[in-house]
Structure 1
Amino acid sequence: MIITETRVRDAYRITPEPIPDHRGSLYESLRYETLRRATGHAIEIRQVNHTVNRRNTLRGIHGTTVPPGQGKIVTCVRGAARTMVVDLRVGSPTFGGHDVVGQDAESGVAVYLPDGLGLGYVALADDTCMNYLYTREYTPGMIIDIDALDPGLGLPWNLTEPPVRSERDAAAPSLAEAAAAGTLPGYEQCLRAYPAM
């Protein structure tokens, strides 16, 4: 697998290298030691979730409070998605910055986000299924919601029609509003929370 840092500091794109044969192909989607060396984080998986989405569903931007935090590795296992990684860490050199990652079942491209980074995506096909591997179990009240359509973020969703959103996502504050309310984690706080090697 090829692991490269995105334009958002500490977020990584994981691109598998398929080995094809007459049956199809095989690829490693995750190898602990390879990811640890590339990211500097000792990642242990504590929870696995899936979402199934109709085309044009927009989820996010979602992050977590620190503590407890909840790092994640997200892969598209069916369909396709346009994924945004957003830095929610106040004081980070890339605070408010984003990167776009194309994800689909065929490529197997995954995204690793440690504590303090937000994720959102729009489903590009009906029945798009996203797989989440989490470093911590969900705790009520830990989720931070940011409006995915916040003009201040200017995320390039490339929407051609109004997206399908949850009421919670549609009512989420802008990044500036969340920062002013003190709900976002601090950069140094997140660095201390990252899993040690």
Structure 2
Amino acid sequence: MTVTETHLKGCFILEPKIFGDSRGYFFESFNQTHFNKLTQTDTIFVQDNESFSTKGVLRGLHYQLGEYAQAKLVRVVAGRVIDVAVDIRLKSPTFGEHIAVELSADNKKQVFIPRGFAHGFVVLSDTAVFSYKCDNYYNKTAEAGIIYNDPDLKINWQLPDSDILVSDKDKLLPQFSNARL
């Protein structure tokens, strides 16, 4: 597996080694020992989540507050998405900056998003299955978020705003400057 740290400290792009032949392919999508060694973290995942979405669905930008903050390891099992991680660590030199990575069933890339980041994705293909591991359990009272089209963040979701489908709940998320951090 190849691991590349992004300009956001602690945020990594992982690319597995794929073994293919006439029968198909095989790859190891996760190995706790290798993951921690390659990312130089002590992350232990405790919860796996999966979502199915159609083209234009945007989920995010979400995060958990305080002791319920979550690190995530995300990937796409079917389809194609733009995955976004926003650094919301107040003392970080990259506070307010983000990465946007195309994840797909074809490229099999994964992104490790440490605690202290808001996260979201938009579906570019007709449908997508999105899978992610979390290092902390979800807590409804600690959920928070930032509106996906915040003018200060300037995220390029690669779809016209008219094609983006956001939940009613996510439409009410605050701008970055007003978010609970």
TM-score by length of 1: 0.87
Q: Give the Å deviation of 1:126.
A: 2.3
Residue 44 of structure 1 corresponds to: 44
| Residue 105 of structure 1 pairs with residue 105 of structure 2 | yes
Q: Aligned-residue CA RMSD in angstroms?
A: 1.2
Q: Give the Å deviation of 1:161.
A: 4.6
> In structure 1, how many angstroms separate the alpha carbons of the residues matched to 2:39 and 2:25?
27
Identity %: 29
Aligned ranges for residues 46-65 of structure 1 at < 5 Å? 46-65=46-65
> In structure 2, how many angstroms separate the alpha carbons of the residues matched to 1:23 and 1:34?
27
Q: Following superposition, which runs of at least 4 residues in structure 1 exceed 4 angstroms of deviation?
A: none
| Residue 170 of structure 1 pairs with residue 151 of structure 2 | no
Q: Give the Å deviation of 1:145.
A: 0.6
| Residue 151 of structure 1 pairs with residue 151 of structure 2 | yes
Unaligned runs of 5+ in 2: none
Asked if structure 1 preserves the Cα contact closer than 8 Å seen for 2:2 and 2:16, the reply is yes
Asked if structure 2 preserves the Cα contact closer than 8 Å seen for 1:8 and 1:85, the reply is no
Identify, as 1 or 2, the structure richer in strand.
Answer: 2
Give the secondary-structure state (helix, strand or coil) at the position aligned to 1:42: coil
Q: Give the Å deviation of 1:79.
A: 0.5
Give the secondary-structure state (helix, strand or coil) at the position aligned to 1:150: coil
Q: Give the Å deviation of 1:12.
A: 0.8
Residue 191 of structure 1 corresponds to: none
Residue 195 of structure 1 corresponds to: none
Residue 15 of structure 1 corresponds to: 15
Aligned residues: 180
Give the secondary-structure state (helix, strand or coil) at the position aligned to 1:91: coil
Asked if structure 1 preserves the Cα contact closer than 8 Å seen for 2:18 and 2:27, the reply is yes
Q: Give the Å deviation of 1:43.
A: 2.0
